[in-house]
Amino acid sequence: MKIIRIFLWLVFATVPFSVFGQCQTDEFLDNCASKLEDYTFIKAFNTDLPKAGSEEYSYVFSKGSSYLIIVCDQNINGNRMVVNLYDRNRKLIASSFNPKTKTYYPDLLYPCTATGVYYLEASIAGAKGGCGVTILGFMKSE
Amino acid sequence: MLSFCIYGCNSNKGTAEKLDMNQIISENSQQPELEISEESLNSIIQSLPSPLEIASLIKGSGVPFNESLLNKTDKLENYTTDFEKSLAMGVYSGNLGYINVYEKSFLAIKYLTAIKGIADDLKIGQFFDFETIKRLSSNSDKIDSLIYLSTLNFEKMDQFLRGQSRSNLSVLMVTGTWLESLYLATQVVKTKKNDKLIERIAEQKMVLDQVMLILYAYKNEDFFSVIIDNMKELKSEFDKVTIIYNYREPSTKEVNGRLVIVDNSSTEVKITDEQVASITSTIEKIRAKIIDSSYN
């Protein structure tokens, strides 16, 4: 029994949280997507990292459309997901984290005025990694 | 023939090198024989714009829904090979986006049935939650849920194909969807001139470069080489279109807890009525070959 307890402790202490696929369920995705409000769903980018790091996605944003980028993670302190938006030349447009105010924004709204390829970088800083979903929605700008 | 892997070929999750779309596309236009990595291919497939965006723009132009623009669902027998089916599926998916945006639920079921049939043939039908989608399509209040679920299902089918090393079918699907969206936009502009739609049509020059790149990944397959030849004609028309990008530094502001970006950059498009007409007729030709399976 003691050996089993030690084994289980070792498993939960060392296996990254993300292995348990917390963010891969339909329920998690549906809950995140529900925050789109009046925006039309385009895509969901799943991020699941076994250690600190980032993943990048790209999408062609079109002038005249407003894009809502929802940052949906497990909301664990010290292990939040941050999404950065870059333009075609990889210049940072905005980040969901403001280091000065330590604010994590749940979403970014981007009314696009220049059509082109844009990059979304989802990163998790915690040493044990983590997971999240970046939801992209659009609405035609008036 | 020069071929090498562009970026991220040996990347580990979380440390992948960044894929520079501009560089990939620019190099391809200079060296069409360049091969791209699976990672680049997947990245480009994912980046292509949703057909819902153009459909939304069409609806916003005030033009009424036009069923005659759609590919008829009784053409399923025309599509016999997996390649033909994949292209057709892309076309029907573009049609479904148009139907859903206009909330024509009476047609949605017909097109969903066609898509489900093709999906089953391609052994990806298990990702299409047909019964739920059918139920949602019969309720006009559930259009948002219908669009959400349909989009999600298409994403799952696409991801499955790429995971099964059947990216070639994914490439054809997204090509079919994109072409159909462009076809719908050009047909609408033919009947009623609309500056915003014309601008969006012209901007597809950028997307076409990406579509060509992923098609080239399979250029050694006969079917793809035929499609590429047809798309080259379209590219020669779009090459006459000019797009100017003006960069200005963006700013942000917080509005009710949400970060709102103020983008001061812009793109300016230069396209003549004659160029629009040439692009329109070229797309009509290509699309006719696809929906009638008459590629030669």
* DSSP character string of B43-108: HHHHHSPPHHHHHHHHHHTTPPP-GGGSPPGGGGGG--SHHHHHHHHHHHHHHHHHHHHTT-HHHH
**What is chain A's mean pLDDT, rounded?**
86
How many domains are there within chain B?
Answer: 2
Q: Name every chain B residue with its beta carbon within 8 A of the beta carbon of A62.
A: 49, 53, 200, 203
Range 37-76 of B in CB contact (< 8 A) with A: 43-44, 46-50, 52-53, 56-57, 60
Same domain, B126 and B84: yes
Same domain, B6 and B84: no
**What is chain B's mean pLDDT, rounded?**
88
Which pLDDT band holds residue B3 (cuts at 50, 70, 90)?
very low
| Chain B residue whose CA is closest to A103 | B257
Which pLDDT score, from 0 to 100, does residue A76 have? 81
Distance CA B228, CA A68 (A): 34
Mark yes or no for CB contact A140/B57 under 8 Å.
yes
Which pLDDT score, from 0 to 100, does residue A9 have? 52
Q: Name every chain A residue with its beta carbon within 8 A of the beta carbon of B129.
A: none
Which pLDDT score, from 0 to 100, does residue B142 have? 79
CATH number of A16-140: 2.60.120.380
Domain assignment present for B256: no
Task: Please determine, for residue A68, whether its predicted confidence score (pLDDT) is greater than 90.
Answer: yes
Task: Please determine, for residue B2, whether its predicted confidence score (pLDDT) is greater than 50.
Answer: no
Mark yes or no for CB contact A53/B210 under 8 Å.
no
Mark yes or no for CB contact A109/B250 under 8 Å.
no
Mark yes or no for CB contact B267/A63 under 8 Å.
yes
Q: Tell me the residue length of chain B.
A: 296
Query: Shortest CB distance from A49 goes to which of B13, B19, B258?
Result: B13
Helix residue ranges per DSSP H, B124-272? 130-137, 143-163, 167-191, 195-216, 222-238
Position with higher pLDDT, B118 vs B26: B118
Please tell me whether residue B265 adopts helix, strand or coil conformation: coil
Domain assignment present for B253: no
B242 touches chain A (CB under 8 A): no
What is the mean predicted confidence (pLDDT) over B116-124? 94
| Interface mutation vs chain A, best among B13, B57, B214, most A CBs within 10 Å | B13
What is the mean predicted confidence (pLDDT) over B262-275? 95
Which pLDDT band holds residue B18 (cuts at 50, 70, 90)?
low
DSSP secondary structure letters along B157-197: HHHHHHHTT-HHHHHHHHHHHHHHHHHHHHHHHHHS--HHH
Which pLDDT score, from 0 to 100, does residue B35 have? 72
Domain assignment present for B262: no
Domain assignment present for B176: yes
Same domain, B164 and B231: yes
Which contacts of B229-237 are long-range, i.e. CB under 8 A and separated by 24 or more positions?
B230/B285, B230/B286, B230/B289, B230/B295, B231/B286, B233/B282, B233/B285, B233/B286, B234/B208, B234/B279, B234/B282, B234/B283, B234/B286, B235/B208, B235/B209, B237/B275, B237/B278, B237/B279, B237/B282
| Interface mutation vs chain A, best among B41, B102, B103, B148, most A CBs within 10 Å | B148
Mark yes or no for CB contact A113/B265 under 8 Å.
yes
Position with higher pLDDT, B163 vs B190: B190
Same domain, B209 and B150: yes
Helix residue ranges per DSSP H, chain A? 2-14, 26-33
| Torsion over CA: B47, A84, A39, A24 (sign) | positive
Closest by CA to B55, choosing from B107, B87, B92, B99, is B99
Same domain, B32 and B89: no
Which pLDDT score, from 0 to 100, does residue A127 have? 80
Which pLDDT score, from 0 to 100, does residue B27 have? 58
Percent of chain B with pLDDT over 70: 88
Which pLDDT score, from 0 to 100, does residue B60 have? 93
- Domain coordinates of chain A in residue numbers? 16-140
Same domain, B184 and B278: yes
| Torsion over CA: B241, B244, B245, B248 (sign) | negative
Task: Please determine, for residue B31, whether its predicted confidence score (pLDDT) is greater than 70.
Answer: no
| Torsion over CA: B59, B65, B71, B75 (sign) | positive
Task: Please determine, for residue B12, whether its predicted confidence score (pLDDT) is greater than 50.
Answer: no
Task: Please determine, for residue A75, whether its predicted confidence score (pLDDT) is greater than 90.
Answer: no
Domain assignment present for B248: no
Task: Please determine, for residue A50, whether its predicted confidence score (pLDDT) is greater than 80.
Answer: yes
Distance CA A38, CA A29 (A): 17
Which pLDDT score, from 0 to 100, does residue B128 have? 85
> pTM for the whole thing?
0.87
Predicted-complex ipTM score: 0.87
Same domain, B109 and B147: yes
Task: Please determine, for residue B206, whether its predicted confidence score (pLDDT) is greater than 60.
Answer: yes
Domain assignment present for B265: no
Please state, as a whole number, how many other Cβ atoms lie within 10 Å of the Cβ of residue A49.
24
Position with higher pLDDT, B256 vs B14: B256
Task: Please determine, for residue B130, whether its predicted confidence score (pLDDT) is greater than 90.
Answer: no
| Interface mutation vs chain B, best among A25, A59, A113, A134, most B CBs within 10 Å | A113
Torsion of CA A136, B174, B176, B100, to 10 degrees: -30
pLDDT tens-digit readout, B69-88: 999 999 898 999 999 999 99
| Structural contact between residues A85 and B236, judged by C-beta atoms closer than 8 angstroms | no
Distance CA B46, CA A100 (A): 33
Distance of CA B5 to the CA centre of its chain: 25
Lowest mean pLDDT among A18-32, B26-40, B171-185: B26-40
Which pLDDT score, from 0 to 100, does residue A4 have? 55
- Segments forming the whole domain that contains residue B10: 1-37
Position with higher pLDDT, B197 vs B144: B197
pLDDT tens-digit readout, A88-142: 999 999 999 999 999 999 999 999 999 999 999 999 988 888 899 999 999 976 5
Domain assignment present for B230: yes
| Interface mutation vs chain B, best among A26, A60, A104, A139, most B CBs within 10 Å | A60
Task: Please determine, for residue B32, whether its predicted confidence score (pLDDT) is greater than 70.
Answer: no
Which pLDDT score, from 0 to 100, does residue B1 have? 35
Q: Name every chain A residue with its beta carbon within 8 A of the beta carbon of B155.
A: 43-44
